[in-house]
Amino acid sequence: MNQNSPVEYNEGVACNVEEYPDGLNANFLGKDASELYEVFGNDGKGLFEDCEQRDIANNVGSIMQILKEHGLHEGSTICDVGAGTGLFVREMCTIVSHPGKVVACEISPGFVALLKDKFQDKVRIGDLEIVQSQDKSLCLLNKQFDMVFVCDVYHHFEYPKSMLRDISLVLKPYGVLVVIDFHRDSSKIWSKPKGWVESHVRLGQAEVREEIANEGFKFLEEPTVSTLRENYIMMFEKL
């Protein structure tokens, strides 16, 4: 098997089983909150939050501006899927404020614990809810959102079709799905070794767009940020 070729098995599952025999998310599922914080958070010095190691961290302000331009405002409801260390959570809470709501979903119990500790002030006043999700479901029964935000997480969906269907269920009619992910092209990736992205990320941008459209979403546009080199941004609308 070509290690750069992802495989599909078991209705909708997609990952490279040779590279990730325990699944794409085993590294996150196997660590507790303190371990995850040290590696990925660490007051901005971890992999998820260090501006010198991650384009996304260096462009939080520009990304939040794009969300505002596409309808995120005071009173909005937004779901941050795979929120990790909560890089965007506080900024989202500031924008939507009361009576708006941010829901941060995480498949990793360690990240859930980290988020609850880090943002206990926002949880206490009701601006934020933190939810333990599953590999096939956001676990957000009876919730409806104006926007669903998926940043550097789409390629970690081991059941992409199931997750897209679940996202469609929780989005309001004409709600917006925001997908930010890596270009599957080593020439655009400065923070990782050559070949990493082709092995780690299962689909290129065009294929991701087609996969999402096939689950009933309308492509809206591709906003660009000049300083965001490693990642693309795509906006979709629930039909």
pTM, two decimal places: 0.92
Report if residue 165 sits inside a domain: yes
Report if residue 1 sits inside a domain: no
Report if residue 19 sits inside a domain: yes
Per-residue confidence (pLDDT) for residue 47, from 0 to 100 = 93
Report if residue 2 sits inside a domain: no
Q: Per residue of the chain (239 residues), what is the pLDDT tens digit?
A: 333 444 443 445 555 556 677 777 888 998 999 999 999 999 999 999 999 999 999 999 999 999 999 999 999 999 999 999 999 999 999 999 989 999 999 999 999 999 999 999 999 999 999 999 999 999 998 899 999 999 999 999 989 999 999 999 999 999 999 999 999 999 999 999 999 999 889 899 999 999 999 999 999 999 999 999 999 999 999 98
Per-residue confidence (pLDDT) for residue 16, from 0 to 100 = 59
Per-residue confidence (pLDDT) for residue 15, from 0 to 100 = 55
Report if residue 211 sits inside a domain: yes
The boundaries of the domain holding residue 17 are 7-238
Report if residue 18 sits inside a domain: yes
CA-nearest of 3, 28, 8, 30 to 18 is: 3
What is the spatial distance between Cα 239 and Cα 229, in angstroms, rounded to a whole number?
30
Report if residue 147 sits inside a domain: yes
Q: Where are the alpha helices (DSSP H) in the chain?
A: 26-29, 33-36, 55-58, 60-69, 89-96, 109-118, 120-125, 160-170, 196-200, 205-213
Report if residue 26 sits inside a domain: yes
- Residues 6 or more apart from 27 whose CB is under 8 A from it? none
CB atoms within 10 A of CB 116: 14
Here the CATH number for the domain that contains residue 194 is 3.40.50.150
CB 89 within 8 Å of CB 102: yes
Instruction: Report the SS3 class of residue 66.
Output: helix
Q: Total structural domains in the chain?
A: 1
CB 88 within 8 Å of CB 94: no
